[in-house]
Amino acid sequence: MVVGISGGADSTALLISLARMMADLHQQNRHAGFLIAAHFNHGLRGPESDADQQFSSELAEQWGIQFVSARSTQPCQDEATMSAQRMEFLIDTAKQNGARYIALAHSLDDNVETVLHQLMRGTGPAGLCGIGGTRSVDDDLVLVRPMLRISRDRIRAALQEAGQPWREDSSNASVQYSRNWIRHELIPLIQTRYPAAVPAIDRAIQGQKTWRTTIDAHAENWIQQHQLATSPATFRRDTNTDAAILIAAMQRHWKESGWPRGSMTRDHWQRLAKAFQGKEKTVPRFDLPGGVEVQVLDDQVILRDSTN
Ligand SMILES: Nc1ncnc2c1ncn2[C@@H]1O[C@H](COP(=O)(O)OP(=O)(O)OP(=O)(O)O)[C@@H](O)[C@H]1O
């Protein structure tokens, strides 16, 4: 397992927990695999960034864990780009060393902040499920987030109790980044009136995930029963199924076909669902963003990638 370590409280706690679990397994003479601590130096905060790397490397050494690091060749301030650079490094490290898992230390609070961020920026039901606990990167590699149900406060309290220091990232305190603004301004404001808001939102996320799993199972089932041909993708029309399931089925189809979803709005998905439900008889053909052409026949709907 490759563990992404920033030197912050969450990933310090994750690395130590995994190292202890490994030690326990070794003691019981059980196979424990191997751990690699991987740190990506974004190089944005000069000596402070180097000190984070130094801290992470010393922590790994202290626990007898192999340490790998890389430095950004194109330092940038954009959160999404930084995260993508980091993921690329973690995936490369995993592949080069034959690791099957990458572990990240996102906490319950990170999940709640992410959902609030998505909610305000605009999202569908999937975005309200928050960060996934596991995700397949490919057939041989799985991304896991074992700390997702543990609060930031609990993690810090445990580190303090263990006498284990961590690095405080000064850019985490800056409200310049929208995620930090949610963490440092918005959530504390909400908590002045709703002190238990964070665990309450987490429970709503868990509930949403259960709904999502159910809808996904129906969507998968629907595709199996209604897809008549793959090239071009041909589906049987269906007046009985709810729009939510039809939309989830189509979103799965988009993903499997590698079609771009970026410009598909809620209105587009609903229009597509209506085409299946037989309420779109007057429009036999229409186009969707990303070059997908929809042809509506009496008993079938055909989808074609017109850019191919
Ligand atoms: N520079 C980095 N190098 C390697 N892994 C990282 C780095 N920064 C973050 N990660 C991993 O990604 C996870 C989520 O990143 P995020 O920026 O939300 O974390 P963070 O606020 O720095 O948390 P932490 O308290 O773990 O440092 C971290 O918990 C850690 O596992």
Tell me: do 157 and 9 sit in the same domain.
yes
Domain assignment present for residue 212? The answer is: yes
Task: Point out the domain boundary residue: 137, 163, 189.
Answer: 189
pLDDT for the residue 279: 62
Q: Are residues 277 and 140 part of one domain?
A: no
C-alpha to C-alpha distance for 234 and 303, rounded to whole angstroms? 7
Cα separations in angstroms, 24 against 61, 66, 102: 18, 18, 21
Ligand 1 pocket residue status of 40, Cβ below 6 Å: yes
Please tell me whether residues 171 and 232 are part of one structural domain: no
**Residues 214 and 182 occupy one common structural domain:** no
- State in Å, rounded, how far the first CA of the chain is from the last one: 40
Domain containing residue 169: 2-189
159, containing H or E segment: helix 152-162
190: enclosing H helix or E strand: helix 187-193
- Does a structural domain hold residue 127? yes
Q: Which two tokens stand for residue 90?
A: 């973690």
Q: Is 170 within 8 Å of 129 (Cβ atoms)? A: no
Is 196 contained in some domain?
no
- SS3 at position 206: helix
**198 lies in a domain?**
no
Which segments are annotated as binding site for ATP? 6-11
- Do 27 and 150 belong to one domain? yes
Number of domain units in the chain: 2
Report, as ranges of residue numbers, the positions in the chain whose pLDDT lies below 70.
171-176, 279-282
What is the per-residue pLDDT across 244-282, written as a single tens digit (0 to 9) for each? 999 999 999 999 999 988 889 989 999 999 999 876 556
Distance 40 CA to ligand 1 centre (A): 9
Task: Report which secondary-structure segment, H or E, holds 294.
Answer: strand 292-296
Mark whether 160 and 221 lie in a shared domain.
no
At 176 the pLDDT is 60
Indicate if ligand 1 lies below 6 Å from the C-beta of 102: no
Ligand 1 centroid to Cα of residue 44, in Å, is 15
Residue 183 and residue 211 in one domain: no
Domain presence at residue 72: yes
What pLDDT is recorded for position 280? 57
Residues 169 and 211 placed together within one structural domain of the fold: no
What CATH number should be reported for the domain holding residue 269? 1.20.59
* Residue-wise burial string across 155-178, b where 16 or more C-beta atoms lie within 10 A, e elsewhere: bbeebeeeeeebbebeeeeeeeee
Burial level of 179, CB count in 10 A (0-12/13-18/19+)?
middle
Choosing from 136, 161, 189, the residue where a domain stops is 189
Q: What are phi and psi of 292, to 5 degrees?
A: -95, 125
Q: How are beta strands 227-229 and 233-236 bridged, if at all?
A: antiparallel
Residues 181 and 210 in one domain: no
In the reported structure, the alpha carbon of residue 304 is separated from the centroid of ligand 1 by a whole-number distance in angstroms of 41
Residue 168 inside a domain? The answer is yes
Looking at the fold, whether 225 and 115 belong to one and the same domain comes out as: no
Question: Is residue 199 in some structural domain?
Answer: no
Which residue's C-alpha comes closest to atom 9 of ligand 1? Answer: 6
CATH code at 133?
A: 3.40.50.620
Same domain, 229 and 288: yes
Residue 185 shares a structural domain with residue 251: no
Rounded-to-5 percentages of helix, strand, coil across the chain: 50, 15, 30
Q: Which residue from 1, 2, 10, 92 has its CB within 8 A of the most atoms of ligand 1, so it is best to mutate?
A: 10
99 domain-assigned: yes
